[in-house]
Structure 1
């Protein structure tokens, strides 16, 4: 049995490597803004604009396992047979909401399978076009559903905005779909005053691609001739979004904000976060754990030049946090920076 399992693993890895081929040769050593821009050029080869064709492929082949499809938010299985087109229940969820499209009613965006998933129609309606982000208090949120294999939530973020938090089991899939969409179309990931990027970076780490997601990426490539690079190389997410870059990087003005250093890193007692700004301005500096929970926030006026923030490894209640990796998120003047720090 062990020999058979090992053989299957090798076959799966071989298919994965063959499917990628030399697709990423031109970008594999890049980082930051350069990688982001190069990936945009690399993956902008999909021209499929048939939404009906995409839905038929989604429900009849791509996500169909023995006649069943699974809701991206609840894990609930629906028997749909092999001729279903996703028009009733379940229906088709656009992870990047259609109302957010940078080009209204664009058929290519609408038909892009990298962000289309089966969904319970009621949960799809409940998600609406709310940002995909962490709900601060699950106890006071709407849960979808307590009786299904997975639970997603609609409620308030820590900043008081209505958001939709996907189930832990699908957080990584959702994050990589949204980051793909931003990279492919340059459409913003700040919606309804919520910048989703910090949570998406965490979710990508928390829920890495599994064999099913990799196989899905391969099948979509065959159908529409482009890949989701963050499924093939989830480390690209850190290479781009843990260096100074905004989610609208290609059209953003020159950066006036930078993270000069985190010292020491790793740290045990205190870490000094050195922020450089060309102008005086207000900033929100937040610490997130790898579950996407905001554990500490400073509202700070940045000086022109350098500003230091000292973190002593405690949360907002003054309690020491567990050892591990944390994300520092800095927002000021429409710019966002995310970086990692190790507390031990």
Structure 2
């Protein structure tokens, strides 16, 4: 009051006069007085109706599919006394006017408040992937008009996708996708036992000046290859929710609904991984950073433990241990083994992180659990073709592999029931590359083909025990009552041997 007296002012206006200070403001009217009310942007303060004409639009029907029709309905908030022409563009990235037929302007005749523009997406035969279109009014709005909506994006689904020869994690196949590891990649592991075995694995998967790391933004491109859905080459397979989603629906903003993003299986906060400014660069496969076992920060963008996941489900997982987090209700856990092998990889790829028994506090750095659960998940959900393909794709980028996908029996020699025993690397011969097992997975029988000479077949369980041993000299059907799980079938002739994985369900 003293200040008002000093300034010769005797009237005061209160922004919180109506108790709505967060949504109302003091506004000057045309007669020079003031009032407190909701803001009226683009209009005079004392206007009772907007002094501008709002331009809005809706797109329907959704989703938009290649070869289909859709409409854009443009509306004005109030009629005009003269004809009004609205110009706009429909494009975004690789989507442009060659992908559709339809206008780029509409005319509102005097008194008209709604106009419909019709479009057809051209049905070509090119697999260009799902795209997004954007309705953009840009700077085509004259004075006196206001955009109530602009730059709205909509997915355009391409119908020219490819289907892989192998199955999804929900309907897994085995033996269709072969490892692309060089023949001598694991030679140094042969005959070793723990802890020398772990050291030898680390020397392979963290070899300095050989193994590469890419930026965190490059991971999106890697995932579009490594996590591609076998059912549709334009979509990625989401791990926890066990569903597919368009590659174009990658989350770029704060809204995760209907979007997918990058999930760290070994959580960032638990591993001590972090991002730097360079990680926001997309520079492709040809540019990389050297890395080694002590480069713990590089766990931020190590593709072997990053998976495409539903954005909301990623948040639900947070930094929990397994099985403290066990996926959404109603899902089948088809990702259990994948998670286990990713964590096993990380503990040998980098120093100062480990997998332990129990459920450490979620704030614990350098440890994650539960080892006993992860061991069982690994045994119950062996590597399938989807996971092997993923390993092959990442190998082309990082020049390292997850050894527990290529040789799942290694897990037992490090954490399981064969700790302390010497690991024997299978030496397969090209003489036996025609040997096949089918059906695989098997329920109570399987057929072995490609047998042309005296051959010994030995089936080992996950503990290395002989479950079946038989001599054959021709293609043979094996009847069995083996328990559910992963088995190694060793096929031995006088001069060659081959080991095959058999899944019993």
Greater RCO, CA 8 A, separation 6+: 1
- Listed one character per residue, the Cα deviations across residues 113-157 of structure 1 (whole Å, up to 9, x for unaligned) are 00011111111111100001267xxxxxx96144xxxx2xxxxxx
Q: Which one of 311, 319, 342 corresponds to residue 177 of structure 1?
A: 342
For the pair shown, the structure with the greater C-alpha radius of gyration is: 2
Q: Which one of 72, 81, 85 corresponds to residue 239 of structure 2?
A: 72
1:101 equivalent in alignment to 2:263: no
Q: Secondary structure at the match of 1:32?
A: coil
- How far residue 13 of structure 1 moved from its aligned partner, in angstroms, is 5.7
- How far residue 208 of structure 1 moved from its aligned partner, in angstroms, is 0.4
Structure 2 unaligned regions, length at least 5: 1-164, 166-173, 276-295, 362-367, 421-461, 463-481, 485-505
- How far residue 102 of structure 1 moved from its aligned partner, in angstroms, is 4.3
Distance 1:17 1:183, change over 3 A: same
- How far residue 98 of structure 1 moved from its aligned partner, in angstroms, is 0.3
Q: Secondary structure at the match of 1:19?
A: coil
Q: How many residues align?
A: 213
Bigger mean CA offset, 236-245 vs 173-182: 236-245
- How far residue 324 of structure 1 moved from its aligned partner, in angstroms, is 7.4
1:58 equivalent in alignment to 2:223: yes
Q: Which one of 101, 118, 122 corresponds to residue 312 of structure 2?
A: 122
Bigger mean CA offset, 67-76 vs 46-55: 46-55
1:189 equivalent in alignment to 2:379: no
Q: Secondary structure at the match of 1:92?
A: strand
Q: Which one of 119, 131, 144 corresponds to residue 328 of structure 2?
A: 144
Query: Runs of 4+ in structure 1 displaced over 4 angstroms?
Result: 12-15, 83-88, 102-107
Question: How far apart in 2 are the matches of 1:51 and 1:203?
Answer: 28
- How far residue 202 of structure 1 moved from its aligned partner, in angstroms, is 1.0
- How far residue 30 of structure 1 moved from its aligned partner, in angstroms, is 1.8
Question: How far apart in 1 are the matches of 2:415 and 2:235?
Answer: 36
CA contact (8 A) 1:172 1:209 kept: yes
CA contact (8 A) 1:74 1:145 kept: no
Structure 1 or 2: more helix by fraction: 1
Question: How far apart in 2 are the matches of 1:84 and 1:195?
Answer: 29
Question: How far apart in 2 are the matches of 1:28 and 1:132?
Answer: 31
- Listed one character per residue, the Cα deviations across residues 191-249 of structure 1 (whole Å, up to 9, x for unaligned) are 6256421111111110000111111101111111100000000000001112569xxxx
Distance 1:104 1:50, change over 3 A: closer
CA contact (8 A) 1:134 1:199 kept: no
Corresponding residue of 2:183 = 21
CA contact (8 A) 1:40 1:184 kept: yes
Question: How far apart in 1 are the matches of 2:311 and 2:186?
Answer: 37
- How far residue 168 of structure 1 moved from its aligned partner, in angstroms, is 2.4
Cα RMSD for the two superposed structures: 3.2
Q: Which one of 395, 398, 403 corresponds to residue 221 of structure 1?
A: 395
Q: Secondary structure at the match of 1:23?
A: coil
Q: Which one of 37, 45, 60 corresponds to residue 199 of structure 2?
A: 37
Question: How far apart in 2 are the matches of 1:241 and 1:84?
Answer: 36
Corresponding residue of 1:133 = 323
